[in-house]
Structure 1
Amino acid sequence: MFRYKDYIPLPPWSDGEPGSPYRNAKNPVGDRRRRIGQGIVSLSVLVNLYFLYATFTSWPAPLDNYQALNTHPILDTKALVAIKPANSQDNAIVTGLYTDAFATAVATLGHTLNVANSSAARLLYYLPDKVSERALCIATVSGWEPVRIERIAPPFRGVHRHFLDQYSKLHLWTLDQRGYQSVMYIDSDTIVRRNFDEVFRLPYTFAAVPDVYTDSQGYVTAFNAGVMFLRPDTELFHDMVSKIATAHYPAEQAEQAFLNHYFGAEVLRLPYAYNGNLAIKKRTPKLWTALQDEMRIMHLTMAKPFLQGDYAEVAMDQLERNAERVARKKPVFKEEIAEWVEAWLETRRTYASKLAKCNAL
């Protein structure tokens, strides 16, 4: 307690006195830099506060904030009757088979088209070097007419490995050579829920459904190339092929990215009912529920019950078990997977004798 009783404090230094720690060294350059740095920090804080405020106070996009306000049908049936019906011989529905793994999916899609009673021809584009006789047999049991096409190779590197053959889809625009005036292209990982023949009466040259992402991109104006309506034109085909290697677009998404750049300003954007992308359910369940009564085509983008591993084929007698595994991994899509399985089982029963012959190949 008396440890410091004899302590004598040192006299204080005066500012500027030799040895003083309080020397005021003048440095105008350093002071200016310090003020600039403080200003930048203050501005950064203000900008971040603004974005935080905007994030938590702005309204979400309309579809992210979906409310079932409009319960009217998407088609005006009276107006549709007034439009001259399309000649069914002029129309074609097309899908593609570029690997054996999708054969059962193509067969199932064809069966759902039969149930929906579409009047259009059904064409199956396939690559003869990549599809076996057995797979082609399975795919066509439900009525698809096989059409051989030449592969259009990707024009540069960077294309996702699952999309390496997708530029071949551009052959759709050559179907005017077969006499078709209207074409509806549908990816094989879809099933048809309702007849959509009304699209063949559209006067436009190209139509598709806007894409949906589950990340921050959300609902975008770019379209999904898994379902497309088009008016075939061989001259336009040659123009597209001449530009796929020179246009500037992201390589990974292959033909979808190119088509969005080619038709981005001209495309007629169809309602989501024509391409029921599973991403909608993941992002906005209320919107998915509201679409059920109108949905023409369901697109199994995020859960494929007919594939295993990295897009590997599943044997026909293993499809149900495989679908169960996919449903366990992605339970949010359990109902949609079950719907596909039901359609497959109907396909298998309906074309049992044909499928048996295919299996023997």
Structure 2
Amino acid sequence: MPNMRLARYLPRYRNYIPLEPRDGLLLPKPTLLQACFAGVFAFSLLLNIIHFFRPIRTLPSPLDDYQQLKRYPMLNQSAIPPLSEDDWRGAAIVTTLYSDSYAPAVATLGHSLQLVNTSARMIMMYIPSQISPEALCLATASGFVAHPVERIAPPGSGRGIRKQFVDQYTKLRLWTLDTLSEPVRRAVYIDSDTLVLHSLDELFALPYAFAAGPDVWAGDPGFTLAFNAGVLFLRPDSALFGSLVAALGVARYPPAFAEQAFLNQFFATDVLRLPLAYNGNLAIKQRAPKVWESLQDELRVLHYTVNKPFLYDSSRPVPLDRLADRVRESAEEYKGVFREEMLMWGDMWRETRRVYSDKLRECMIFSSFPDPENDER
């Protein structure tokens, strides 16, 4: 008899009359070969599942297991092409000032540049509406020439951006320096929370449009392919500036790190990665002390990323008459890991106040800045 029960529950197939299984069996018994094949398939499937879900192991960074093997200098001086007098007229070291609290840092950076006898001129971009006359006077005391620029607001009304980076898109104005009365054709940008320990003049001979040092984190992700935007080489180009601004509205990148994340996306395939010595991020010392030690003889820029001796909690300003105390406090933070670097900044600041004391007295016309000669030790 035909099995009519199935047809009753399958309205789309009412004309289909299924056959009764022969001898009451739905499927024939598998052969030995078929059973072996099914077993091999199941085992292969299991191996693929295990491989897919197991933790992905990446190759360790050589810098996380650093061994001092090299016996050669980082820089081959004889290979640096000479620059003409006209080339040097178009060369500039540039920093920025977005708040009064960084004015002592800019002045100290300027003094460190004077000590290494850079051949480039020194320019400080600043936002006039955010900087007081007193801070502007202090920041330019050691040689930076002030250049006012209009602030570039973060895209998306600043959603997702870290508070301390809300002004950093203004850094894109670097590409407009070719419009100055004496145009800048080659620029080395340095964050103001740095000290320059050796000349970086060799960077001005680079044939590339953009260069930066690799980024480093004390924890994950450690040494990265991404670059840190605290030290850059670039060629100002107003047309390229227009492309940068246009890309802000369409580029996809993590917003928390503002212009650094954006620039990493924009120059992803074209950036020349500089040696670590050009951006001595304090995170290197915290993560890999051996790497930090190996850099000391050739370190160009000391970058106060993890701890800033001129700020409280890396954000709140320090009154000038409290800076010496703040330096000593910062030297003991992070279990004293950065004591040497904190005290180094304090020594450079005291020397800045001594060397430029006459200029700083002029700044005191505007405010009650303490006399640099009475700076407490």
Please give the range of the TM-score, normalised by the shorter of the 2 chains. Answer: 0.7 to 0.9
1:335 correspondence with 2:337: no
1:350 correspondence with 2:355: yes
Q: Deviations over 1:88-141 (max 9, x none)?
A: 211011000000000000000000000000010100000011110000000000
Judging changes above 3 Å, is the alpha-carbon distance between structure 1 residues 323 and 351 closer, same or farther for their aligned structure 2 residues? Answer: same
Alignment correspondent of 1:249: 253
Alignment correspondent of 2:285: 281
Alignment correspondent of 2:327: 323
Tell me the percent identity.
48
Alignment correspondent of 1:106: 106
Alpha-carbon shift at residue 358 of structure 1 (Å): 1.2
Alignment correspondent of 1:20: none
- Asked if the contact 2:307–2:314 (Cα under 8 Å) also holds between the matched residues in 1, the reply is no
* Structure 1 residue ranges, 4+ long, deviating more than 4 angstroms after superposition: 42-51
C-alpha separation in 2, matches of 1:320 and 1:182: 36
1:296-311 matches, within 5 Å, as: 296-309=300-313, 311=315
Alpha-carbon shift at residue 314 of structure 1 (Å): 1.1
C-alpha separation in 2, matches of 1:244 and 1:50: 38
C-alpha separation in 1, matches of 2:220 and 2:359: 46
**TM-score for the superposition, normalised by structure 1:** 0.84
1:132-211 matches, within 5 Å, as: 132-156=132-156, 157-178=159-180, 179-211=183-215
Alpha-carbon shift at residue 75 of structure 1 (Å): 1.0
Q: Deviations over 1:219-270 (max 9, x none)?
A: 1111000100001110000111011121111111110011000001100000
C-alpha separation in 2, matches of 1:310 and 1:115: 26
Q: Deviations over 1:266-292 (max 9, x none)?
A: 000000110000010011000000000
Alpha-carbon shift at residue 350 of structure 1 (Å): 0.3
C-alpha separation in 2, matches of 1:247 and 1:136: 34
C-alpha separation in 2, matches of 1:230 and 1:310: 28
C-alpha separation in 2, matches of 1:93 and 1:155: 27
- Secondary structure of 2:92 counterpart: strand
Alignment correspondent of 1:79: 79
**TM-score for the superposition, normalised by structure 2:** 0.80
Q: Which amino acid aligns with 1:223?
A: F
- Asked if the contact 2:95–2:191 (Cα under 8 Å) also holds between the matched residues in 1, the reply is yes
1:39-78 matches, within 5 Å, as: 51=55, 60-78=60-78
Judging changes above 3 Å, is the alpha-carbon distance between structure 1 residues 45 and 173 closer, same or farther for their aligned structure 2 residues? Answer: closer
Aligned CA-pair RMSD: 2.0
Judging changes above 3 Å, is the alpha-carbon distance between structure 1 residues 309 and 283 closer, same or farther for their aligned structure 2 residues? Answer: closer
Which structure has more relative contact order (CA 8 Å, sep 6+)? It is: 1
C-alpha separation in 2, matches of 1:187 and 1:116: 17
Q: Which amino acid aligns with 2:175?
A: W
Q: Which amino acid aligns with 1:177?
A: T
C-alpha separation in 1, matches of 2:173 and 2:136: 19
1:224 correspondence with 2:228: yes
Alpha-carbon shift at residue 359 of structure 1 (Å): 2.7
Tell me the number of residue pairs that the alignment of Structure 1 and Structure 2 aligns: 316
- Asked if the contact 2:97–2:106 (Cα under 8 Å) also holds between the matched residues in 1, the reply is yes
Query: 5+ unaligned residues in a row in structure 2: which ranges?
Result: 1-42, 367-377
Alignment correspondent of 2:120: 120
Alpha-carbon shift at residue 310 of structure 1 (Å): 5.6
Q: Which amino acid aligns with 2:309?
A: P
C-alpha separation in 1, matches of 2:356 and 2:120: 21
C-alpha separation in 2, matches of 1:59 and 1:229: 30
Alpha-carbon shift at residue 49 of structure 1 (Å): 11
C-alpha separation in 2, matches of 1:302 and 1:59: 26
Judging changes above 3 Å, is the alpha-carbon distance between structure 1 residues 196 and 44 closer, same or farther for their aligned structure 2 residues? Answer: same
Q: Which amino acid aligns with 2:209?
A: T
Alignment correspondent of 2:265: 261
Alpha-carbon shift at residue 216 of structure 1 (Å): 2.2
Q: Which amino acid aligns with 1:84?
A: P
C-alpha separation in 2, matches of 1:49 and 1:163: 38
- Secondary structure of 2:135 counterpart: helix
